[in-house]
């Protein structure tokens, strides 16, 4: 069997000055190639902290990450750069994640220059490809980020994440800042992108209906720990943990 795309072992993180339990208190997690894993849990349960560690954006106190079978700490520079390119993070608030004073085109150009050594013509072609993939008109490249609607901004953030042909997108509540009608559009887009490109997702959401739709496997997090993880059907029909049952009951669709 081939190694998972990304495995996390014994991840521990305590934020500076934070009292109470560690934000992440010893987590093991595995994401297969092309797999979509859902991560659910109440506010403050540690989802973002864990996700940022997986993406290399936050340092952990202990534990290790294994990228395609090799411990990240032992990778050479080239392999580490490959991991950085291949794991991309999409934030909850797209407008906050994009520099409002930059035009969309510049935002994509900067990212692409950081990721690749493509020449100007190849960069333009790549940018046009990702714009088409996320359903944005090319003319939007001239617009400043602050002129974009919430839905356009999240599409642009997804386009930026796709530029370097990633293997794993970490989607941290990618639709919760959007109106309900836009949420469905972005979720459809994410569903189609994964089908078309064989991307893996770590999809973080409070909303079990969203996770159910996009994620065949679900992990439930509380107080820095993964309480249970398993196949979607099992988690939804036979939750093993009282907390998972409470999450299900909080959602009208799952009240029996």
Ligand X SMILES: Nc1ncnc2c1ncn2[C@@H]1O[C@H](COP(=O)(O)OP(=O)(O)OP(=O)(O)O)[C@@H](O)[C@H]1O
Q: Tell me the residue ranges of DSSP E strands in the chain.
A: 6-13, 24-31, 36-40, 62-67, 70-71, 87-90, 168-172, 200-204, 217-222, 225-231
Q: Of the two residues 82 and 207, which places its CB atom closer to ligand X in the complex?
A: 207
Region 46-105 residues binding ligand X, contact defined as CB under 6 A:
46-49
Q: Of the two residues 49 and 109, which places its CB atom closer to ligand X in the complex?
A: 49
Q: Of the two residues 19 and 196, which places its CB atom closer to ligand X in the complex?
A: 19
Q: What are phi and psi of 22, to 5 degrees?
A: -60, 145
Q: Tell me the residue ranges of DSSP E strands in 111-188.
A: 168-172
Work out what residue 130 binds among Mg ion, ligand X, none; the CB cut-off runs from 5 to 8 Å by kind. Answer: none
Long-range contacts of range 43-47, CB-CB < 8 Å, 24 or more positions apart?
Answer: 43/206, 45/221, 45/222, 45/223, 45/224, 46/13, 46/221, 46/223, 46/224, 46/225, 47/172, 47/204, 47/221
CB of residue 121 vs ligand X: minimum separation in angstroms?
41
Q: How many residues bind Mg ion (CB under 5 A)?
A: 1
Q: Is 205 in the site for ligand X (CB under 6 A)?
A: no
Which of 7, 22, 35, 48 forms a contact with Mg ion (CB under 5 A)?
48
Q: How many residues bind ligand X (CB under 6 A)?
A: 11
Work out what residue 49 binds among Mg ion, ligand X, none; the CB cut-off runs from 5 to 8 Å by kind. Answer: ligand X
Residues in touch with ligand X (CB under 6 A) = 15, 18, 23, 41, 43-49
Residues in touch with Mg ion (CB under 5 A) = 48
């Amino acid at each position: 069997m081939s190694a998972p795309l990304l495995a996390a072992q014994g991840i521990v993180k305590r934020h500076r000055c934070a009292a109470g339990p560690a934000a992440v208190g010893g987590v093991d997690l595995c994401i297969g190639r092309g797999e979509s894993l859902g991560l659910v849990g109440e506010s403050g349960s540690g989802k973002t902290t864990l996700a940022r560690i997986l993406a290399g954006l936050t340092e952990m106190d202990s534990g290790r990450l294994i990228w395609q079978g090799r411990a990240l700490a032992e990778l050479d520079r080239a392999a580490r750069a490959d991991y950085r390119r291949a794991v991309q993070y999409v934030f909850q608030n797209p407008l906050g994640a994009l520099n409002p004073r930059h035009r969309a085109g510049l935002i994509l150009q900067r990212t692409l220059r950081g990721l690749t050594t493509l020449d100007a013509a190849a960069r333009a072609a790549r940018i046009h490809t990702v714009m088409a993939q996320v359903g944005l008109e090319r003319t939007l490249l001239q617009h400043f980020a602050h002129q974009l609607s919430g839905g356009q901004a999240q599409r642009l953030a997804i386009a930026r994440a796709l530029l370097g042909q990633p293997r794993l997108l970490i989607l941290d509540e990618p639709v919760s800042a959007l109106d309900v009608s836009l949420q469905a559009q972005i979720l459809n887009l994410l569903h189609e992108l994964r089908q078309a490109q064989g991307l893996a997702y770590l999809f973080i959401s409070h909303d079990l209906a969203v996770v159910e739709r996009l994620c065949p496997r679900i992990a439930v997090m509380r107080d820095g720990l993964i309480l249970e993880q398993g196949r979607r059907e099992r988690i939804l029909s036979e939750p093993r943990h009282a907390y998972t049952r409470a999450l299900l009951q909080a959602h009208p669709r799952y009240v029996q």
